[in-house]
Chain A
Amino acid sequence: MAQTVVVGDEHAHGEQGLHEPKSFLTRYIWSQDHKVIAIQYSITAIAVGLIALVLSWLMRMQIGFPSSLAFIDQDRYLQFVTMHGMIMVIYLLTALFLGGFGNYLIPLMIGARDMVFPYVNMLSYWTYLLSVLVLVASFFVPGGPTGAGWTLYPPQAILPGTPGQEWGIILMLVSLVIFVAAFTMGGLNYVTTVLQARTRGMTMMRLPLTVWSIFTSTILGLLAFPALFVSGVMMLLDRVLTTSFFMPTVVSMGQQLDHAGGSPLLFQHLFWFFGHPEVYIVALPAFGVVSDLISTHARKNIFGYRMMVWAILAIGVLSFIVWAHHMYVSGMNPYFGFFFATTTLIIAVPTAIKVYNWVLTLWEGDIHLTVPMLFALAFILTFVAGGMSGLFLGNVVVDVPLSDTYFVVAHFHMVMGVAPVLAVFGGMYHWYPKVTGRLLNDTLGKIHFWVTFLGTYAIYFPMHYLGFVGMPRRYYDLSGISAIPHSAQTLNAFITVVALVVGAAQALFLLNLVWSAFRGKPAGSNPWRATTLEWQTPETPPGHGNWGPRQPIVYRWAYDYSVPGAPEDFLPQNHPPERSGVSGAGADVRHGGH
């Protein structure tokens, strides 16, 4: 780690020694440019996400129309459930938000030329790709991928009786361990870049909320992923060397095994020490992106910027002391329930503040209902709905009848599945013009928006009620449960149909992405008339090194929209103040350096 070339460190050596790509290979494949790496990350994440989307179709087919697809047996069903969850949470959302959005936006938004450790950044992507390949390979090994559920709870995950117990689980764990390494390399970059490479004038409190949230989310990841690493390595040892970290004495299928004395709960503690912050690792970037979308498209400063930053930090800190709310009925010491229910509900306060501030930003705004703005509004509604059901599950005693039912499935899909994905879409429609120089097609975008927003709401809102009924999750066969009325099957079929439609509608988005790259309306450098630095680059798409000969100087915060007395309804962050006559770079400002 230690030996990396530092780039963009301009005040150490005036004009930076950026590694200049010479050939096609170094420009697009082995590139150290944060923008190229971001695109590589995004394409890989979306590709693997499409696999997960198809898996969700297949599992929904089994739930909505049982046994209509003959090849889905109970083993395959569990394998689809598991791989869908794991891919979506880790390999799509985490990678896309941090590796994709983080990589592209951080240097541009803080006025840097690149990440501070570009070589490590490149390694991060290739390591991530390796983890994806190992993951995908598990579909092709004997026994198929693991079907242990994305939580991979032992002993089940490594015992016969669970599909993929032979090779799938091993590849899954190896892939996760590699992913953690990849994330750590990327994460070091994002954090250090935000701390060290901000351009002149870019104080921490002048950072756009997107940067704040990705920064905080990366810190959460750096501190939480080691728990996944540790539990993954330990379970590998249990599986391969028959050690007993998590394995007590068990009789599996009538066989006494060699394990003895281990604790399945130990795994759950480690897993959720990672798993809960992970929720915020994907939620926080969505918060940040949505804040910026709302402010830009409502032409109004984000309401309560400081409170928003504090809330991000508070959520980040609190997210490390709530993990056992996933374990209320796990058999852990029941008195933990008092503590974790309290911390969990406390975390709702900063989260609520963020929601209030988003809707208050709309108040007295000048709201342009662009596609990014539509997605931001949809995000708020979906997030609020999903957040509300979180209050049921966090409140320990209310969780008891609901845990492991479809209420949980509905909750986490809304709050950390659909809501972040809506933010991703909003972000993509918003920043695509900067990445390609062309706008995404508006009509396609609107169709995509309506189908996705209304469709996902129609899928997950009623699903909560199936949880009330008591419908347990991860069931291959839901028939014959007396507590569940027959009408619930109708609802399941309806949800499946909507899921198929919503999934298919994503083809419009992909089509739009490809088509607009060549035929889209030219966007100019700042189509949304936004204040933040990424829109002020001399070239669009930004060239190598981002800023031409001079990095921008920042004179104001990221939200100077509709400032009274200003000629236009936005003042870019590098727009010098009028009254003092300080004009840009010429000012004799001593910059404190080291």
Chain B
Amino acid sequence: MAVAIVLAALVLVSVLFSVLSPWWFTPLASNWGMIDKTLFITFIITGIVFAAVSLFMAYAVFRFRHRDGAKAAYEPESKRLEIWLTGVTSVGIAAMLAPGLIVWDDYVTVPSEASVVEVVGQQWNWTFRLPGADGVLGTVDARRIGSDNPFGLNPDDPKGQDDVLVNANELRLPVGHPVKVVLRSIDVLHDFFVPQIRAKMDLVPGMVTYFWFTPEKVGTYEILCAELCGAGHSAMRGTVTVVEEAEYQPWLRGLPTFAQSQAGNGPGRRRDLAQDAGAPR
């Protein structure tokens, strides 16, 4: 008896909690509203099923609790009911899966006008590289990585000479332009996660991974590492600052290219900042 009431109450509390609690997604700052919508569809469907099954169970427990002289029914199966339930479930599943797959197709299809930004992860900080005037990132090789060449760029590759290096934990992006983020790690797995952007992807040493998004709201957002990367994992933070185009260009011009950094102290070289941030040990 008590358990029937508690089961029903739990459903009620769960629904109220979902509606009233302050804990929900942070406001979206990218184009991935479709992810939120798909999630909301899933939330509604699963919520209804959870409530229906639990309330049914609570009612059954209440109504058919043991009483003296009561006897249970004998009913091995009911083909019709089972087929019907299977059908309804399949429809509900399809209603969640179909939008999911459609949005996933968007997720993996990078628009052709997207500009490229490379994110490089290492224990425990973020650095970034922009392709420079030619719009192409130069080739890299992990074996070239050293204190004078933290990105491991190939000095003989002409495409790499104009690559712009952001040897710090802050990346700026112009608002409204789609970005293809290509990701690379020089040591262990990391994951580039900005809650407001929704999209995320692992950084895998030995591979280049990618995802894309369009920043749609000016603001400063925190980059978290979302793949366990050792002791300093929780301290591996960075910043994405989405700015207007007019603010973006001066920032870009203040950064060193690879050629400049090799020639000596390029303007705006900020290595010490990158080294100090993050690593807590």
Contact = CB atoms under 8 A, between A and B. Distances in A.
Interface of A: 74-75, 78, 147-149, 151, 153, 155-156, 159, 161-163, 248-254, 256, 261-265, 298-301, 303-307, 329-331, 334-335, 337-338, 341-342, 345-346, 348-349, 352-353, 355-357, 359-360, 362-369, 374, 377, 380-381, 384-385, 388-389, 391-392, 395-398, 400-405, 454, 457, 461-462, 465-466, 468-470, 472, 474-478, 480-483, 485, 487-488, 491, 559, 561-564, 569
Give me the 3 closest cross-chain CB pairs, A-B, nearest first.
A248-B206, A470-B195, A331-B209
B25 to A, nearest CB: 5
Nearest to A461: B14
Chain B contact residues: helix, strand, loop or mixed: mixed
Given A148-B228, A331-B207, A366 B234 contact: no
Contact of B193 (A78, A385, A472): A472
Nearest to A362: B60
A153 B17 CA distance: 35
A487 B17 contact: no
B145 A251 contact: yes
20 contacts: A74-B234, A74-B280, A149-B228, A161-B188, A248-B205, A250-B186, A329-B202, A346-B93, A356-B82, A384-B49, A397-B38, A397-B101, A398-B39, A400-B35, A400-B107, A400-B199, A468-B23, A468-B24, A474-B228, A483-B196
Given A461-B17, A468-B25, A398 B35 contact: yes
Contacts of B156: none
A353 B14 contact: no
Contact of A364 (B45, B73, B152, B235): B73
B263 interface: no
Contacts of B10: 381, 457
Interface stretch (B50-58, B158-166, B168-176, B252-260): B50-58
B52 to A, nearest CB: 10
B74 A564 contact: yes
Contacts of A381: 7, 10, 54, 57
Contacts of A374: 3
A149, A401, A469 — most chain B CB neighbours (10 Å)? A401
Nearest to A401: B198
Nearest to A300: B72
A244 to B, nearest CB: 10
A395 B107 CA distance: 13
Interface residues of B, number: 104
Contact of A487 (B23, B108, B202, B227): B23
A357 to B, nearest CB: 8
Interface in B199-255: 199-207, 209, 220-222, 224-235, 237
B265 interface: no
A227 B51 CA distance: 38
Contacts of B50: 384-385, 388
Given A161-B232, A353-B82, A366-B64, A569 B71 contact: yes
Given A147-B231, A156-B230, A353-B82, A380 B200 contact: no
A296 to B, nearest CB: 11
A325 to B, nearest CB: 12
Contacts of B186: 250-251
Nearest to B198: A401
A470 B230 CA distance: 20
B53 A384 contact: yes
B68 to A, nearest CB: 10
Given A345-B97, A348-B89, A465-B23, A362 B61 contact: yes
Contacts of A305: 76-77
Contacts of B57: 359, 362, 377, 380-381
Contacts of B17: 461-462, 465
Interface string B24-68: 111000001011001100110111011001101100110011100
B206 A403 contact: no
A334 B152 CA distance: 26
Contacts of B183: 331
A477 B235 contact: yes
A291 to B, nearest CB: 14
A146 B108 CA distance: 35
A349 B89 contact: yes
Given A153-B228, A304-B78, A331 B204 contact: yes
A344 B135 CA distance: 39
Contacts of B86: 349, 353
A369 B101 contact: no
Contacts of A300: 72-75
Given A476-B233, A488-B23, A491-B23, A391 B96 contact: yes
A247 B159 CA distance: 28
A251 B187 contact: yes
Contacts of A335: 108
Contacts of A392: 39, 42-43, 46
Nearest to B199: A400
A485 B34 CA distance: 24
Contacts of A384: 49-50, 53-54
B75 A301 contact: yes
A377 B55 CA distance: 12
A367 B64 contact: yes
A398 B100 contact: yes
Contacts of A385: 14, 50
B234 A342 contact: no
Nearest to A391: B46
Nearest to A566: B74
B188 A156 contact: yes
B271 to A, nearest CB: 13
B191 interface: yes
B229 A156 contact: yes
B112 interface: no
B6 interface: yes
Contacts of B280: 74
Contacts of B43: 392
